Chain A
Amino acid sequence: MTPRKPPAVPGRKVRPGTEEPRPDAFDVERVRAEFPVLGRTVYGKPLVYLDSAATAQKPRAVIDALARFYLEDNANIHRGVHYLSERATTAYEGCRDQVRAFLGARETCEIVFTHGTTESINLVASAWGRQNLGPGDEVLITGLEHHSNIVPWQLVCEATGATLKVVPITDAGEVRLKDFEQGLTARTRLVAVSHMSNALGTINPVREMTALAHARGVPILVDGAQAVAHLPVDVAALGCDFYAFSAHKIYGPTGIGVLYGRRDRLEAMSPYQGGGDMIESVTFARTTYAPLPGKFEAGTPNISGAIGLGEALRFVARIGLEAIARHEAELLEYATREVAAIDGVRLVGTAPHKAGILSFVLAGVHPHDIGTILDLEGVAIRVGHHCAQPIMDRFGLAATARASFAVYNTREDVDALVRAIHKVKEVFK
């Protein structure tokens, strides 16, 4: 079927390419203006920030929300009967509901606030793992995981006698569903996979993985640390049992993250940490625990962090994740073409389905030297093993250079990156 042209508006002739932009059209300059730090210089050169996979910069609305909380509303939550405490509690719980809507979760009580993705995964490894794993059982991960989705499972395997199994990745840096399916055995008790690789940018087919795992009655945790800022996530449609992410990768503050857990899963789990706020009643003889999600939130939480996250999600919603994904996809395509064309550059991670990340090596130059020279040109990238040493081992590398893109990056940023890589070559010629 051929696409039908929209009917012409009578009396108005529009030449192709001269259409006025829609008022809500994506405008990267307007987005950039919301990020104060992007206006600064580094070593006298304009900052080109290509390290958002490590942490994203923060829009003014998020910074202001943090300040406003401490300037006007600071109080502890869930305890005070006074005015400020009520305001803080309402704001904190309001952000929880925002997160629920953002993830497409059914119930607000399925959203647990944590310190970040790392704590979210540790929570599941500890609370679910110790209850459900035993000798001979298997936890299945992939070769694409960040250390935070490897080490917690190694710890719980050590404690319970379970075994950690790893699905291999291809030369392009992909997990083949066939290999994933082969990794699922009668002893698999849990699957833990990243939605998007922080080192290579590969997007895992988590929906299909979830279906395969569930067909065998195996629950699945998805590490969404990298994904949430780049692609729309819907946990209900995905059907996953757990989903973890950090606020700071999606334009929010550090020190706050989220664990989504399906209600029945969370309810069946024992608490992760003990303390204030997670109890219903305490006597020296017996303690009963608070209902969800309080059971998993011992102690005073990161209240301002949650409020900052709520503001960050508002920022993302205002621009729209589809628009962000489109912008970043164009940028990644441009960067891939330009950087790959540099003589001596080899891209690491060339999966067809990827987002926001360009990992590369340059013949004869160690990534650390690339990073330092780029830095002196004002271009901030990450170099090293990206907390994913098994991936580096898989490609026989000690490290790579990684440029990562966010909503505020431009083609000019990519051009600056390319110029700076040429500078590296000049120094090491």
Chain B
Amino acid sequence: MDFEELYQQVIIDHSKRPRNCRPMADASGQAEGYNPLCGDRITCFIKCEDDVVVDMSFQGSGCAISTAAASLLSEAVKGKRRAEVQQLLRTFHALVTGTPGTSAEIESLGKLAAFRGVAEFPTRVKCATLALHTMQAALEGRPEEITTE
């Protein structure tokens, strides 16, 4: 195992320059996420118009994996219908937990496929899924804090 497999360039890039890392005053939903193992916290904001996610952003502090996941996910979901977003989040979850599915499914993830190395690091899977679970909660309008435990 080499660290390049985990820390792909796109992940390093998004961890250092996270996209959509900002609060959202007119969010239609938001949720808090917490990873008690490492103390990482994240707040996800979502804005839906009709059935479409028109904007998603986040704030918080975390490791490279969790920050890059939040950044790349926020880019990936924009402009998609709710059902498509749910599907994307499910596919991403399957990838990072080691059941990546078909190559077409992996391809559908676009840049997010860079996280395929995470499954090899059981202690880091929760870093990759913190933003995912928090976004799901924001999408479904569940206000309670999400924890990875």
Residues of A near any B CB (own CB < 8 A)? 43, 364-369, 372-373, 376, 383-385, 389, 392, 398-399, 423, 427-428
User: Contact between A385 and B64 (Cβ–Cβ < 8 Å)?
Assistant: no
Contacts of B7 in A (CB 8 A): 369, 373, 427
A372 to B11 CA separation, bound complex (whole angstroms): 15
- Residues of B participating in the A interface, judged by any CB pair closer than 8 Å: 1-3, 6-7, 12, 15-16, 37-41, 61-65, 67, 121, 123-124, 127
Set B6, B39, B65, B124: member contacting A384, Cβ < 8 A? B39
A428-B4 Cα distance, complex, nearest whole Å: 11
A366 engages B62 (CB within 8 Å):
yes
Which residues of the partner chain B approach A364 to less than 8 Å between Cβ atoms? Answer: 16
Which chain B positions have C-beta within 8 A of A367? 38, 63
Residues of B within 8 A of A399 (CB): 38-39
Task: Report the bound CA distance from A368 to B121 in whole Å.
Answer: 12
A427-B7, A427-B12, A428-B12 given; A369·B65 CB < 8 A? yes
Q: How far is the CA of A104 from the CA of B6 in the complex (A)?
A: 51
B1/A372 in contact, CB under 8 A = no
Q: Which listed residue, A369, A373, A392, A428, touches B39 by the CB 8 Å rule?
A: A392
Shortest distance between the CB of A14 and any CB in chain B (Å): 50
* Chain A residues closer than 8 Å to B38, beta-carbon distance: 367-368, 383-385, 398-399
Min Cβ gap B63→A in Å is 4
Closest 5 CB pairs of A and B: A366-B63, A398-B39, A368-B63, A369-B64, A376-B3
The minimal Cβ–Cβ distance linking B70 to chain A, given in whole angstroms, is 13
CB distance from A420 to the nearest CB of B (A): 10
Give B121's nearest chain A residue, CB to CB: A372
Closest to B67 in A: A366
| A372 touching B62, Cβ below 8 Å | no
Contacts of B41 in A (CB 8 A): 398
Q: Closest B-chain residue to A426, C-beta based?
A: B3
Pairwise interchain contact B39-A385, C-beta atoms closer than 8 A: yes
Which of B3, B6, B64 meets A366, CB within 8 Å?
B64
Q: List 18 A-B contacts (CB under 8 A).
A: A43-B1, A364-B16, A366-B62, A366-B63, A368-B38, A368-B127, A369-B63, A372-B3, A372-B123, A372-B124, A373-B3, A373-B7, A384-B39, A385-B39, A392-B39, A427-B3, A427-B12, A428-B64
Is B2 in contact with A376, judged by CB distance below 8 angstroms?
yes
- Number of A-B residue pairs, CB cutoff 8 Å, is 51
A427 contacts across to B, CB distance below 8 A: 3, 7, 12
Q: How far is the CA of A399 from the CA of B127 in the complex (A)?
A: 14
A366 CB → nearest B CB, Å: 4
Q: A384 to B121, Cβ gap below 8 A?
A: no
Interface pair B37/A384, CB less than 8 Å apart: yes
Cα of A367 to Cα of B38 in the assembled complex, Å: 9
Measured CB to CB, the closest approach of chain A to B62, in angstroms, equals 7
Question: How near does chain B come to A377, taking the closest CB pair, in angstroms?
Answer: 8
Enumerate chain A residues within 8 angstroms of B16, measured Cβ to Cβ: 364, 428
Please state if A365 and B1 are interface contacts (CB–CB under 8 Å): no
Q: Which of B2, B39, B40, B124 lies in contact with A389, CB distance below 8 A?
A: B39
Task: Find the residue from B1, B16, B63, B124 having the highest chain A CB count within 10 A.
Answer: B63
Give the distance to chain A from B42, nearest Cβ to Cβ, in Å: 12
Measured CB to CB, the nearest residue on chain A to B2 is: A376
**A424 to chain B: closest residue by CB:** B3
* Residue of B whose beta carbon sits closest to that of A365: B64
Chain B CB count within 10 A is highest, among A366, A367, A389, A428, for A366
Q: Specify which chain B residues have a CB less than 8 angstroms from the CB of A376 in the assembled complex.
A: 1-3
- The reply to whether B1 and A398 contact each other, CB–CB distance below 8 Å, is no
Tell me, rounded to whole Å, the shortest Cβ–Cβ distance linking A309 to chain B: 29
The chain B residue sitting closest to A389, CB to CB, is B39
Task: Tell me the smallest distance from the CB of A72 to a CB of chain B, in Å.
Answer: 38
Cα A43 to Cα B2 in complex, Å, equals 9
| CB closest residue in chain A, given B6 | A372
Contacts of A43 in B (CB 8 A): 1
A366–B64 alpha-carbon span in the complex (Å): 7
Query: B15 — which chain A residues lie within 8 A by C-beta?
Result: 428
Alpha-carbon distance between A352 and B83 when the two chains are bound, in angstroms: 59
Known pairs A367-B38, A428-B16. 16 more at Cβ < 8 A? A43-B1, A366-B64, A366-B67, A368-B124, A372-B6, A373-B3, A376-B3, A384-B37, A385-B38, A389-B39, A398-B38, A398-B61, A399-B39, A427-B3, A427-B7, A428-B15
Nearest-neighbour CB distance to chain B for A376, whole angstroms, equals 5
Interface centre among A368, A373, A383 (most CB of B within 10 A): A368
CA separation between A392 and B67, bound complex, in Å? Answer: 20
The closest CB in chain B to the CB of A376 belongs to: B3
Query: B116 to chain A: closest CB distance in Å?
Result: 16
Residue picked from A372, A373, A385, A392, most chain B C-beta under 10 Å: A372
CA distance A4 to B7 in the complex (A): 60
